[in-house]
Amino acid sequence: MAFLILAIETSCDDTSVAILCDKVILANVVSSQLDHSQYGGVVPELASRKHLVNLQIVLEQALYQAQISLIDIDAIAFTQGPGLLGSLLVGINYAKGLSIALQKPLIAVNHMEAHILAHWIDYTPELPFLCLTVSGGHTCLTLVQKNPLNHQVIGRTLDDAAGEAFDKIAKLLGLPYPGGPFIDKYAQQGQPIYNFPKPQIPNYDFSFSGFKTYIKNFVNNFSAEQVQQELPNLCCSIQNAIVNILIDKFFKAIQDLKPKSVGIAGGVSANSTLRKKVQELGNTLQIPTYIPKFEYCTDNAAMIGITGYYKLLSQNFGDLGTVPYAR
Ligand code: KG4
Ligand code: ZN
């Protein structure tokens, strides 16, 4: 018997609802809040208020695309955290309301685990699978071992996340929020002519705070006109430096832990240089390498739904007492 799963994602500034029939995505609607751009970053209270307005509209679009009605749903998966507390509360309470009304079980999903499980939408990576998850809030290396839900985090950022570094550096360069895609765009027109020192962090951990301060001081030597003129070369050099920091640790972890397959996940995995270099690394090491489709890189409810599907199979349910975790 096939299960119909409704999935809700509201951890940050994207309101998303997906509908899955087992592993098949029938709908994955994402409404990105553009309002935050003018403030140079996500304003938490504004984000939760927008989720309240958007959620019903996005749900109706998803039901329409999937050509089903709410009463057909077998389970409701939702993001429990980590994320912005107010944003999480909107999605969690919406899911609880649906659960009461439809008398269907709840499935609580960890957002970071879901970024990794996004690979299981289209593929079945061989285990152990080593995943480099790079988003606006997190940067970590995770080993998925005995089954898709068995995760061991082996390294993480000690301060800023990779996406945060992209966004904050983009702001220094006068680019809009979120800056990662803009740096990526300008980088493609430039050359990596500037060299920056690499943070020396032990084990599989990362750090981007010192790197960001270095770039801030470096850019301060340029006039506003020079920054404009040099934008492609600056973006290309910065992007290469961030990607090299990520690739070095990824390479070290692959060499040491010898996983059967590897992949990248999270918003920064949409980055063109990272995708290219990870694929090259996989080819060189002759290891199966999984790069997610663009729609499954940044926040989306399909990844919550696929995680919900595996949790449903293992009878791992949430309940009306489930509370969010912000970190
Ligand atoms: O996974 P995500 O949508 O949200 C979080 O869970 O944080 O990731 C958002 C992050 C932002 O920092 C954004 O700038 C970054 O992903 N991002 C990129 C690219 N596309 C999105 N960073 C670099 N290059 C890109 N092409
Ligand atoms: Zn995310």
Q: Which of 33, 135, 272 to mutate to test the pocket of ligand 1 (most atoms within 8 A of CB)?
A: 135
Here the tokens at position 164 are 């945060």
Q: Does residue 75 sit in the same domain as residue 140?
A: no
233-283 pLDDT per residue, tens: 999 999 999 999 999 999 999 999 999 999 999 999 999 999 999 999 999
Instruction: Give the CATH number for residue 229.
Output: 3.30.420.40
58 falls within a domain: yes
Count of C-beta atoms within a 10 Å radius of residue 167: 24
Question: Would you say residue 181 lies in a domain?
Answer: yes
Q: Is residue 55 part of a domain?
A: yes
The structural domain count of the chain equals 2
Residue 326 located in a structural domain = no
Same domain (yes/no): 33, 64? yes
Q: Tens digit of pLDDT for each residue in 177-224?
A: 999 999 999 999 999 999 999 999 999 999 999 999 999 999 999 999
**Residue 35, in any domain of the structure:** yes
- If you measure from the C-alpha of residue 268 to the centroid of ligand 2, how many angstroms do you get, rounded to a whole number? 9
Measured CA to CA in angstroms, residue 44 lies from 29, 36, 137 at distances of 21, 9, 14
Q: CB of 16 within 8 A of CB of 87?
A: no
* Closest-CA residue to 302 (of 2, 83, 6, 48): 6
Tell me the pLDDT band of 42, cut-offs 50, 70 and 90: confident
Looking at the fold, whether 247 and 305 belong to one and the same domain comes out as: no
Query: What's the rounded Cα separation, in Å, for the pair 163 and 208?
Result: 10
pLDDT band of 34, cuts 50, 70, 90 = confident
Alpha-carbon separation of residue 52 from 37, 88, 234, 269 (angstroms): 19, 11, 39, 29
Residue 98 above 80 pLDDT? yes
User: 74 and 212, same structural domain?
Assistant: no
* Binding pocket residue ranges, ligand 1, CB within 6 Å: 12, 135-137, 163, 166-167, 178-181, 184, 266-268, 270-271, 298-299
Helix (H) or strand (E) holding 292: none
Average pLDDT of the chain?
96
- Helix then strand count (H, E) for the chain reads 10, 10
Taking the CA atoms of the chain, what radius of gyration do you get in angstroms?
20
Statement to judge: residues 21 and 104 lie in one domain: yes
The two three-digit tokens of residue 68, written as one number = 């089903």
pLDDT of 71 above 90 = yes
Domain assignment present for 248 = yes
Contacts of 291 (CB under 8 A, 6+ apart): 263, 264, 269, 275, 278, 279
pLDDT, mean of residues 2-6: 97
- pLDDT value of position 39: 85
DSSP string, 256-280: HH--SEEEEESGGGG-HHHHHHHHH
Candidates 35, 23, 267, 48; CA nearest to 123 is 23
Q: Which of 268, 273, 295, 297 to probe ligand 1 with, by most ligand atoms within 8 A of CB?
A: 268
Give mean pLDDT, residues 160-171.
96
pLDDT value, residue 37: 81
∠129-130-134 over CA atoms, to 5°? 130
- Atom of ligand 1 minimally distant from the CA of 112: 6
Q: If DSSP codes are grouped into helix, strand and coil, which group holds residue 69?
A: coil
pLDDT band at 1 (very low <50, low <70, confident <90, very high): confident
- What H or E segment, with its residue span, contains residue 104? none
Q: How far apart are CA 118 and CA 128, in angstroms?
A: 16
The pLDDT of residue 227: 96
State residue 36's pLDDT score: 82
Domain match, 78 and 111 both: yes
- Residue with tokens 């989306």, as numbered in its chain: 300
Residue 323 falls within a domain, yes or no?
no
The sign one gets for the Cα dihedral 283, 289, 295, 299 is negative
- Which stretch of DSSP H or E encloses residue 118? none
* Cα 239 to ligand 1 centre (Å): 13
Looking from the CA of residue 163, the nearest atom of ligand 1 is 12
166 and 267 both lie in a single domain: yes
Task: State how far the Cα of 221 lies from the Cα of 100, in Å rounded to an integer.
Answer: 59
d(CA 80, CA 189): 40
Domain that holds residue 181: 124-291
Question: In percent, how much of the chain has pLDDT > 70?
Answer: 100
- The answer, yes or no, to whether residue 327 has pLDDT greater than 80, is no
Give Cα separations from 86 to 51, 98, 325 (angstroms): 9, 19, 11
pTM confidence score: 0.96
pLDDT tens-digit map of 272-317: 999 999 999 999 999 999 999 999 999 999 999 999 999 999 999 9
Average pLDDT over residues 10-27: 97
